Each structure stands twice: as structure tokens, then as C-alpha cells.
Amino acid sequence: MSSSSSGGVGVQDERGANKPNILRLTLGAKNLDKKDLFGKSDPYICIYAIQRAPTLAALPGGMETFFYNERLVYRSEVIMKTLDPTWKTFDLPLDLIGGPNAMLGIQCYDWDKDGGHDMIGYLSLDVKSLTKEGPCAAFQKKKSSKSSGQLYVIRAEYLYRPVSLIGGYSISLAAHGLDAKDGPGKKSDPFLEFVNGETQKVFYRTEYIRQTLSPEWAPFTLYLEDLGTMLDKVIIVNCYDWDEDGSHDLIGSFACKGMDLTFKGMFPLINPNISRPLYKNSGILNILDSHDVPTFRQFPPTNAFQIRCGAAKLGSVVSNPSPFLEVHLQVPNQAPRLLHRSEIVPKTRAPVFNPFIITIPPVLVGPTVETRLCFTLTNQEGSGVQTHLGILTTTLANIMLPNAYYKLGSAADKSNGAFYVESCSPVPAEKIPPFPVGFKVSCCGRNLDRKDGPLAKSDPFIEVWTADLPGKQVMLYRSEFVKQDLNPVWEPFNVTSSYDTFDSREGYVRRGGSVDSPLDLLVYDWDASGHHDLIGKFQFTIRELTFGPQQKNLINPEKVGNFNYKSSGVFFFEKLDPIWTDDQASSNNPLLLSSSFQFEIFASKLPAQLRAADPYIEVRLKDWNVSGTVRPVLLYRSEVCPKTSSPVWSPFVLHLGKHVAEGLMQFARVADARTALAVPAFNGWQDITLQITCYDFETRGDHKLMGQIEIPMTELAFKTITKPFKSGDSGSLTIARFVPVAPETLPSSPLWPLPPLPQGAFEIKFAGIKLDAKDLRSSDPFFTIQNPQTGSLLYRSEIIKQNLNPDWAPFALPTTAAGLAWHSKLLITVYDWDKDGSHDVIGVTMPTLRELLLARCPWTLKLDRGRLEASDTGGGLVFSSFRPLDTYTPPPVAQAYSFKFCCKKLDAMDVTTSDPFLKVENNKNITIYRSEVHMKDLNPSFDPFNLDVQDSIGGPDAQLKISIYDWDKDGTHDLLGCVSVSVRVLLMGSFYYGLERGGSTHGALVLEEIIPVPLESIPFTILAESYELHVSMHKLEKMDGPLKKADPFFEVHVGNQETKTYRSEVVKQDLNPVFKPFQLDVRAAGGFDQPLIIQVHDWDADGRHDKIGRVRMNLRDLLFGSFRYPIIGDGGRSFGGFQIDKFIPIPSLPTPPPPALAYQLHVSGCKIKKTDVVRKPDPFFNVYVEAGPNSSALRVKVYRSEVIKTESNPTFLPFVVRVDDVKGLDTPFQLEMFDWDKDGSHDYCGTATTTLKELLFGFITLPLMNGHDSSGGGLNVDAIFPMAIPPVFPPLAPAYSFNVSGKKLDSMDPGPMGKSDPYFDISIEVPIISATSSSSSSSYGSHQQQHVPKRSIRIYRSEVVMKSLNPYWSGFILNTADLGGSYDS
């Protein structure tokens, strides 16, 4: 074998040379089997790339293969009449076959004319076998293991060839022996279609060839995207006989892979509809030539196409039709778009239409091969009646293929002739004819429906709206109405493909619309009430108007489906004059001429009750985005027209457009930069809808709604408009005049320009009118003003006693400090004052500052009760003055104040009375003051107290929580009520505040006085570093049964982690114990404001101390003096009181000494569990700690006590625990108690777990737990003493002498007298050291315990003692080194 390479750039090896990528072969064969009856064979070979050993499989198209997961990579030419062929040299790309080590399968066939090629033999081998010249391998017969010939490699060499991109394959096809489909004496008109086997879509069609059974088609190209990148797509090839009516008959078909079409070869055409005996095929398709080409499919870069088309054999519906053609574009989820309407071809069944150009709007779908078009043929009769002839829906790709003949479908799904596309060619952009921007339309109506009764006609007018903006339709035109005419002629008007709107930021802009944008044309019957009745409507586009004058049926959707309903009249586009420039398309739309407009509005037929109404109107912007909230914005409020049902209000001006946005931006600004408010978006006239509401004025402010209309600004641009009220009541509003006004000619108005918000305050004066009587016949009214967004109180008025028409004093409402803006709402609440603080609400109202500005003073606001009643008003709030203050000085806030509070009408919590005290907390829930207790007093007056506004409270606007409690001996002080209020509100003066509890008022907290005091007058509390606490408990629960008391002790835990810092002594049998004082370091407690948790327990001898409850406090709370806290137990109830009797500051505690190296423990037992039936236990205990990482055991014994015989309450000898042995003060270790037995089976009593730090708190009884909740008694740690010098273990001796005996061994020998012959072994366990274990142990070390594999080594075996159950063995000596060399071995 030779290897060569040629020039080019490609993959290089490590020496820089190009690697071979082609295997060039010349193959031959010898002694092939003879397959032809009177000759030899016509052999050719197929080569497959395979991945598994040979097995039987099937290939589409009837061919056979014997290889699993195969892929055809080469097919040779046919050599006629030989058994020793030599085929032409060919190239195998290595990347195609899988590389130089791939497996290949080779099949040898005998070619037959009918396509039924006989297999001579097959073989499989690797690529390397083909690189050795000479005999290669034997072909194997199909059904036996015999040889059917020998394969020879005549020449083989590796080459390098630059890789060129392949875009497709140029293919030449012919056929012979086709079936005749055109009847006796005729042949066929064959053509081919290539279909994707997966999607069933046609991707290529050949031309048809007239009257032949042996056609040869022109060469064509199939692209890789159709055949598959790896040429592995399944392709179906269909051969048809062409028919003029589009009903092409199938001759035959076959299926193959894309690779099969890249080689010369023949395929039988099989017709699945033929089932006659001895049927073989309907002809043979021959691939004459196939070679790759470097071209790729490119869709034409245009959206316009010229189409030449026609139809044939029309007339199954109409005998002599006059057809015209319509072409629609099908858009997903939208109505079809008309692209073309042809001329009418009179009196013919085979029309040929004039060539035409369709333009596909790229904004809709863009032209692609999948663009779907609908071709509709319609017969136009002279009477105007149209008859459907047929329809065809196909893709743009299909009509661009040659020979595009199709059957026309009909409503009955029958063939109605054929439609054909002679050509469909792309049109360059520069040759696309221009579209007019619009038309001047002259129009009329015919035979419109009667809407004004049988004896009258209709008053029709038209409206044109956009239809492509869901939810944002824009009116483009409204005509005049024509009185009493069913055949109206309207004035001409302009309609354009795009429409003009005004944008506040950029001025005049062209927005939306194109020649294909749908437009709605509606015809109404005008009514004076504004309830204009719809006659009918239709949809059209500017593109449709380019097809010339036309008529449209007017369809009323409410009548569709009625018997014999066709239309509500006909609309005629009589004359269409094209408009070519934007200048010609401009209109007199007033919205484009100004941004200020004068309105004249009147109403008619307003509803009247018992009296004539006093109507007025309010004009608002509907659904405007202000500060992120969508709500209407008031623009104007008219005067009141007294006593009339047909009011005519004074003309007024609204400044809209750009000035709306500017004005709204101004009142959206606030002085406080910390408040971020969204500036409303304004995108043009289509965003503005006016809401006009008509009210009947009432003196109490409950103005009755009479009706409301909503009208987009775009509707106002065309003619006078009358609209009925939405509420359903009678009456309508008419906008009689809407004219632009030059802004510079107008005086200043409340809206434009909007005055800047005063930097100080407004002076406001309120009065009440006809308020509800809350106190039998009258009320004591006062009002408050709040900011509803923040909840802060801005003002509280004085109280006017016994008056239903109060007149309050003027007041100043601050704006900047309160964070108000023009759009800010004010929550105004009117109350009836009560002594107990439960002030009754008379009514509320929520105007904005802007509404107050626009009001015509005096104006009455309705006070809403907030209940669904027949009369839901609590009276009226009249404001008679609203003016900005040029100068305003807010009241000063001192640094400190003296507060004096009392209470009125408190609840009796102790049967008939209460023992109240007051507690003040800041907004961080930290107690900053606690008062004295007033015993048996429901109207207490507390001592004055001083507070620092900044440091203690957090500022004048920070909320104070003032709570009133009823003191109890057990510390469960009952809440009487609380109030949340700020210093700024308290500065508004003396007031009765309701004490809230459970959602209702329970008495009043009265601010008697608040006086500024110097900051120096507040005594400065020097906070110590440590404190001594004197603790007692009161009225504890009996925890030891009804005849006994309790043995209480407590533990102190600090911080959120509840770290234990102290444990008290046990006070035996006492429900009111007094404990020894203890000292607490503030830093150790985490500071004055960290939680301090006290856990109270009842001591039990078995160590299972019962939990009595918990107390939660902090050190700052203790600064206010002696106090009693409830001990809260399970279930949330109190189990007694925990009292801090004294809280004495002391000098800082001395630094505690460092922990000792060892401690001596004095331990005793209590009620040790008895495991023997008759006698007491013989207790001893072991001390265990967790083993280290290098130990084979889980834990290590560090001490074993002596055995104390027959004692349930033993006292053990003191013993020493080294801190290092138990791994520190905080590491838990176990003390396990056992009952000693002679036979060594010591019974387990229980385990106590503790730490040295726990024991350092003093005496403790630990429970010996045996199981989940079973106690084996108690273990007392009576004392613990540090040892300055820890005990030192004596050094290990070189060897030790052992004397061993056994007791009560089992009898292992048979028979009643049998005993045992015992001996024993001593073994040690040593780790098995390996490279893996040594590396892993060094990596982890002491971080985690390793389970190292071990093995046992016997170091001693004793002698055998015959026939003994209590043996004594001879003494023996063991070397310390053999035992591991340490105490822990």
C-alpha cells in the first residue's frame, strides 16, 4: 500500500504534515456465482459502514442488508456479463466510514432490469484489511456458509484531499418500462415528486414529459437540508401521470435513504394499489448521474412574487362561469389577509389570469417556504350574486416548484376542476410597484335596515376604527349623520394606511398602521338619547382598496344566525382617489392642532325624583397611573345648575396633551426625596379617556350619582357627540362644542400650569353640617387628618361640645414635612368624643389635595359611615377656606419632655378593681419606663416621668407603645389595654386615648400634660459592668404531689443561643423560696438588651428534675426597680412568680482564673435501680469519653470506681478527671452505673451524660437514663475541686505479671456431671497499613474518625485446666511493647 498527499490546508499531524483523510481503492472479484440463467452475472457492490457483527435487517425500497446499524457509503457501477469483475477506482472519506479502524460490510449483487437484483454474497471486515493488496476475503452466500466468490484489493492508498463544502447533489434521472395511464393506445405523462418521509412534505417536483414510458428528466439539484446532513433522511420518490384537471394518477413509488440518491443505480417503482398476480413493478427508475455541488439553497431576499396562473375544467357548480381570483395570506391566530383580487374573466371554464404581484408583509410572517397561501375562485354574476367555485391552500414553496397543478376543493369536498401556477418568481425590491398611502373615499349605502320603526327610516352615520390594536382601538373618522335615508350618500373623507397621533414627548409622529392593517367600518343609526343602534359593519384594508371600487355587505353580529338573514344593507366604495404623499393625507383633526380645548356640555332628560335636581359635572382622566396606582384624576368640576333636568353648563377649557403630562409630573413630585413616585406614562391621544360624571348636589355632601359617560379623546376629534349614561338611568350628555384654543391666549387655571406645592402648609377651615347624633340628641365632634399611606396623624382639631353643626377653628396643614404631594389623599375622620376614649366614628372622607384645590369653596364633602345602609352618610364636611401659607413655622420639638398620664374607667380585673401600672416601650420593643403600682384603683393618676426624645424614644415621629397592666402576685400581670402614639401626636395637646385590647376599647389613657424639660434634668443612669441579683419566687405550683411542695432551683441562660451562665442552689420544700444572691457580668449576658432566659426546675432525687417554667426578661428592664415576672410553663399558663428583689451594681467582676488541668469529683448515688430480685445493688460506675480518630474503639474508659456492696445510695471515693482526658470543659462524657455480679455479667443501671462546665456550676443530680424515658436512679455530683497539679500516671514497666482465674464458667462437656476444660487466648488488634490508608489518614488526621481495617495477632495462650468451672491458671508475664506500649492500647 502507498500513501501520498496533495497540497491544501487541512488537519496536520504532530510533524506539521497534513493527515490522510481519503482511502482510494480499486476492488475486484474472482469466481463469483453465476446468477443469470443463460449467461454469467452482472455484478456490482455496495459498501456499508457498520457498528456490529452481521445480522439480518431490511432497507427501505426492497433492498436487503445483513448488517446492523448500517449506513451506505458507496455503490459501484455494474459490470455486465462477468464472474471476474474489476470495478472503477473510488474514494472513501475516512470521516464518512468512521475512521481507519471502522468496520465495513460489502454486499455483491447481480443486476437485473426489473430491479429485483439477486445477492451473490456478503462479507464484513475492518478498514485495515482493505489496505493490503491481493486476496482479501470470501463472499458468503445468503442462506449458507459456502463461498460465492473472492474479493480482491487491486490497489489501496491513503490520500489527503482538502475538504470542500457540499451543498447538495446534482442528479440526472430516467425511467423505463412505466405503466401506461392514459388509456388504450396512449402512454403516460410522467413526472416525479420527492417527499420527506418524516414530514410528508414535497420538497422537489420535476417537469412532466408528454406521452412516453421511457422519460429522461432534466438534471436538478437536491440540497443537503432535504437529504440529511449525514444523508440519512428517508426519502419517498413518487412517479405520477400528469392530468389536466390536477387528479394526477400514481404510477409507482419507492423509499430510500438520502445516500442512495448520491450513487448510480436502479430502483423498482411499486404501486401499492396494484395487487394482481405475478405483479413485479410499474417501471424502473435509473439514476444516470449524481455528483456533489458546492451550492446551497437560498430563499429569494424579497417579499414580493410575480405569479402567472390559471384554471382548467371549471363548471361543476356553474355551467358557464365568469371567474375571478382572490389570494389570501394565512396568518396563525389571525383572519386571512387579502393580497390580490384579479380581474373577472368572462364566460370561460379555463381562465388565464393576468400576471400579478403579491407582497407578503414581513411584519406578519415574512416570506418563507412555509408561508401558506389560499387561492379562491369565485363566479361573479351580472346581478351581483357571487358563487364559490373552488379553493386551494398550499405553501409558497409548492407553487415555486415546476408543474404546480392542483385539484380545486369545494364546500362539498368534491373536485371542481384544476388550478395551476405556471410560474412564481421573486420580484426585486426596486421593481415592486408602490402603494398609495391612502384614498379619498366617496361612498354610499343601499337598502339599509330601518331602525326608527316601521313607518320611519334611519339616520345613518359611519365610523372608521383601527382593528389591529386589541384594547386600544383608535377612531380614524366619524361622518355626519344623514336624516331619514336608507340609501345615504356621505361626504368624501380620507382614509390612510397609517394614522396621525400626538405624542407628548416628541411632538407629531406617525404611529401604527400599514396597507395590511385591518380597519373596521361601522354604520350606526343616530339617536338623540345617545343610544346609537348598530346597523352593520365589515372589515377592510388599504390594500383591498387598491383593487378598485367595490361593494361590501353590512353584517349585524346580533342578527347572524337568524332565519334567511343575509345582510343589513350594502356599502359601496364608489370612487377611490389614491393619495400618494403624506401631505395629501393630512386632515383637519383638531387633536393635531392644539393641546388646549374648549368644551361646551349640556345634558337632557335627567332623572327627577320628588324635586328637580341640582346637577353639576366632574371631568376626570380615566385609569391614570399615579405613583404606581391606577385611578382617575380630577381635571375639572363645574358649577351647580339649580333646579333643572336639562342643564347647560358654562364653557370651560382643559389643557391636555403635553401639558397633561407636565402637570401630572408636577403633582407627582414630592419634597421628600426619599419617597419615590412613578411619573405617569403618556404615549399619545389613544392613552387618554375622559370620564364625565353628573351628580345631584346635596347640602350634606352625599351628592347623588345621576350618570356617567366615558369617551376617548380620539372620538372627540370628529363632530358633535351624544352619549347615554352608563348607569342605565335615563338621560344623556352631549358635547356640543370641542374646539382648539391657543394656550397663550388663556388666563392661568388650576390645572395648567399647576401651582407648585407650598413648601410650608395650607390654611384650611372646616365645618360640619347635619352630623349624626351619637349621644342621644347631639354629639361632641372633633376631626383628625391622617396620611393614609403612612398612617401618621397630621392634625387633630379641638372638641366642640353638644353641636351637630360645628365650626372648627382654621388650622395649618404641613405639606413638606408630612411628605404630601398634589395627588396625596387625606383621610379625614369626624369623631364623637367619649370620656372612656372609645370615640365613635361619625364619618370619613378621603379627598386629595388637588380635589380641594379644584373645589368651588364653600364645598361639601360627604362623610361616609362605611356601612351599607339606606342613608350611608354621617353628615357633611364643609370646607370654606383652602389657601397656601406664605410663611409657616412648625412647632419646635424639645430634646426631652415630662409626661403626666392618668387613666379613666379601667376594667376590673380582680373581681371589683385592679392594681394598674404603666409601661412605656420604644419602637424596638425596649422598655424605657415602668411606673409605680396603684393598688385597687380604676382611675389612677401616675407620677410624672421624663424621657429623652432622641436617645430613649428614637425621635418625635417614632411610635411609643404605652401599656397599662393589672399587677398580680404571681407575675401574670394582665393587660388592661395599650396605645401606640408618637411624641408629635402627644404634642397636639391633652387627649383621651382609647386603651385597645382584643380589638375593642377598655378605658381611656389621658395625657394630662406634656412639658418640655432640659435634657440635663433627666437623671443620668450610670450603667455598671456587673450586677448582683437577689431573687425570690412566689406562689409556685406543688410539683411533688398534693401533700408536698416543691424543691425549686433555677438556671440563667443568656442570648439567642441560650448559653447557661448560672445555676442556683436547691431550696427544699418551699413554694416561696428566697435564693442566695448571685453576680452577673453584663458583657457575658450580651448587653442590656439581649434576652435573659430563666429556667425554673423542681429538683428530684433521681435527677429527672421537673420543668416548672421559663421567665424572659432583659437587664435593661431590671433597671426600673424590683419587679415580678410570671413563670410560664407548658400550655402558656403561669406556675408562679419570679421576682428580682434587688438589682445592685457592683464593680467589675475579677477575671476568672483559667480552667484547671484536672478536677477532683465527689460523687454519690441516689435510688440506684435494683437489678437483683432479693438484695440491694452492688453499684460501681465507669467514666467514658469518645475515642480518638486513630483508635479502633468508639470510646475509651478513663476511670472505674470501686464496688460498694448492697447499697442503693452509695457514696464513692473521690476521683480525679483530667481535662485532656475528656477533651475539654465543653465536651460531653458519660458516667455509666452498673450492678456488680460475680460472674462478670454486671447489670446495666443507666448512663448520665454531662460536661465539666456543667459540673462547675455546683451541686447537681444527674439522671441515670436507661432507655428512652426510664431512670436507673440519680447520680449526685456533690462537689468538684480544681487541682493545681494533675495526677501523673507512673511510667509503664517493661513487662507485667498477670494472675488470672475464672468463676462460674458454663459446662461445655456432655452429661450431668460434665464440666469444662478451659484455656484462654490474648490477642491484640493492629491496623493493616497500605499506601491508600496511609495517604488518607494523613489527609484527614484528627478531623474525622477513620475506620481503618485491622487484623488480630495472638500474643499469649494459657494452659488447659481440666474439669473445672472455677479454674486458676498459672501466672504469666507480658511485655509492654507487645501490648501496644501505652495506657490506651
CA 165 to chain centre: 45
Alpha-carbon gap, residue 520 to 465, rounded angstroms: 5
Which triple of cell numbers denotes residue 838?
372609645
Alpha-carbon gap, residue 824 to 633, rounded angstroms: 11
Quick one: which H or E segment has residue 661?
helix 658-668
CB 1246 within 8 A of CB 1264: yes
pTM of this structure: 0.44
pLDDT of residue 438: 83
Alpha-carbon gap, residue 871 to 455, rounded angstroms: 47
3-state SS, 328-365, equals: EEECCCCCCEEEEECCCCCCCCCCECCCEEEECCCCCC
CB 857 within 8 A of CB 881: yes
Using DSSP bridges, classify how beta strands 103-110 and 43-50 pair: parallel, antiparallel or unpaired.
antiparallel
CB 726 within 8 A of CB 713: no
Q: Strands (DSSP E) along 166-218, which ranges?
A: 168-176, 190-196, 202-205
Which triple of cell numbers denotes residue 660?
397633561
Q: How many CB atoms lie within 10 A of CB 258?
A: 21
875-927: pLDDT as tens digits:
888 888 887 777 777 778 888 899 999 999 999 988 889 999 999 998 888 88
Mean pLDDT over all residues of the chain?
A: 80
Alpha-carbon gap, residue 651 to 527, rounded angstroms: 24
pLDDT of residue 675: 33
Q: Following CA atoms 44, 49, 50, 53 in sequence, which dihedral angle do they give, to the nearest 10 degrees?
A: 40
Judged by DSSP in three states, 478 sits in strand
pLDDT of residue 641: 87
Q: What is the mean pLDDT of residues 943-949?
A: 89
pLDDT band at 518 (very low <50, low <70, confident <90, very high): confident
Alpha-carbon gap, residue 1053 to 1061, rounded angstroms: 6
713-737: pLDDT as tens digits:
767 766 667 778 876 567 788 887 7
Phi, then psi, of 224 in degrees rounded to 5 = -60, -35
Alpha-carbon gap, residue 1092 to 644, rounded angstroms: 76
Alpha-carbon gap, residue 1049 to 1073, rounded angstroms: 9
CA 146 to chain centre: 69
969-983: pLDDT as tens digits:
877 888 999 999 988
Judged by DSSP in three states, 903 sits in strand
563-589: pLDDT as tens digits:
888 889 999 998 888 887 766 555 545
At 594, which amino acid appears? S
1204-1242: pLDDT as tens digits:
998 999 999 999 998 888 888 888 999 999 998 888 888
Q: How many CB atoms lie within 10 A of CB 91?
A: 13
Alpha-carbon gap, residue 381 to 699, rounded angstroms: 71
Q: Is the pLDDT of residue 680 over 50?
A: no
Q: What is the mean pLDDT of residues 1256-1265?
A: 87
First to last CA, the chain: 74
Q: What is the mean pLDDT of residues 311-323?
A: 81
92-102: pLDDT as tens digits:
888 778 788 88
Using DSSP bridges, classify how beta strands 54-58 and 64-67 pair: parallel, antiparallel or unpaired.
antiparallel
pLDDT band at 677 (very low <50, low <70, confident <90, very high): very low
Q: Is the pLDDT of residue 340 over 70?
A: yes
Alpha-carbon gap, residue 1279 to 1283, rounded angstroms: 13
Tally helices (H) and strands (E) across the chain.
Answer: 12, 81
Q: What is the mean pLDDT of residues 62-79?
A: 65
Question: What percent of the chain clears pLDDT 90, i.e. is strictly above it?
Answer: 21
Alpha-carbon gap, residue 703 to 709, rounded angstroms: 17
pLDDT of residue 1047: 92
Q: What is the mean pLDDT of residues 1069-1091?
A: 88
Q: Is the pLDDT of residue 1352 over 70?
A: yes
pLDDT of residue 185: 86
What's the half-sphere exposure (Cβ side, CA atoms, 13 Å) at 652? 21
pLDDT of residue 1032: 93
Q: Taking Cα atoms as reference points, which of 1137, 1084, 1142, 1082 lies closest to residue 1118?
A: 1142
CA distance readout (Å), 866 to 259, 386, 632, 701: 82, 64, 21, 15
Q: Is the pLDDT of residue 1331 over 60?
A: no
- For residues 1055-1070, one letter each, b for 16 or more C-beta atoms within 10 angstroms of the residue's C-beta and e for the rest, the string is eeeeeebbbbebbeee
Question: Which residues have CB under 8 Å from 455's CB, separation 6+?
Answer: none
806-824: pLDDT as tens digits:
999 998 888 766 667 777 7
Which triple of cell numbers denotes residue 215?
422519460
- The DSSP secondary structure of 958-1008, one letter per residue, reads SEEEEEEEE--TTS-PEEEEEEEEEHHHHTT--EEEEEEETTEEEEEEEEE
823-857: pLDDT as tens digits:
778 899 999 988 888 888 999 998 887 777 766 66
Q: How many CB atoms lie within 10 A of CB 471?
A: 4
CA distance readout (Å), 504 to 498, 507, 594, 688, 749: 19, 6, 12, 12, 20
Place of cell 491458671: 1369
Alpha-carbon gap, residue 510 to 514, rounded angstroms: 11
Q: Is the pLDDT of residue 404 over 90?
A: no
366-387: pLDDT as tens digits:
566 578 889 998 888 766 577 8
Q: How many CB atoms lie within 10 A of CB 325?
A: 24
More confident residue, 1367 or 625: 1367
CA 200 to chain centre: 39
Question: Which residues have CB under 8 Å from 1016's CB, separation 6+?
Answer: none
Signed CA dihedral, 1208, 1214, 1218, 1221: sign only: negative
Question: Which range has the worst mean pLDDT, 59-73, 438-452, 1020-1034, 1080-1094?
Answer: 59-73
What's the half-sphere exposure (Cβ side, CA atoms, 13 Å) at 871? 12
Question: Which range has the worst mean pLDDT, 1045-1059, 1160-1174, 1324-1338?
Answer: 1324-1338
pLDDT band at 64 (very low <50, low <70, confident <90, very high): very low
- For residues 693-726, one letter each, b for 16 or more C-beta atoms within 10 angstroms of the residue's C-beta and e for the rest, the string is bbbbbeebbbbeebbbbebbbbbbbbeebbbbbe
Alpha-carbon gap, residue 122 to 43, rounded angstroms: 13
CA angle 908, 909, 913 (to 5 degrees): 45
| Cross-strand pairs, 550 | 573
More confident residue, 161 or 1281: 1281
Q: What is the mean pLDDT of residues 71-82?
A: 85
CB 518 within 8 A of CB 541: yes
Region at 183 (left for phi over 0; alpha for psi -120 to 50; beta for the rest): left
Q: Taking Cα atoms as reference points, which of 1258, 1231, 1264, 1259 lies closest to residue 1246?
A: 1264
Is it true that the peptide bond before 753 is cis, omega within 30 degrees of 0? yes
Quick one: which H or E segment has residue 359?
strand 356-359
Within 588-716, where are the H helices?
Answer: 658-668, 713-716
- The DSSP secondary structure of 1264-1305, one letter per residue, reads EE-SSS-EEEEEEEEEEEEESS---PPPPPSEEEE--B--SP
More confident residue, 859 or 251: 251
246-304: pLDDT as tens digits:
788 999 999 988 888 888 778 899 999 998 888 889 999 988 888 877 666 666 667 88
Q: Is the pLDDT of residue 1306 over 70?
A: yes
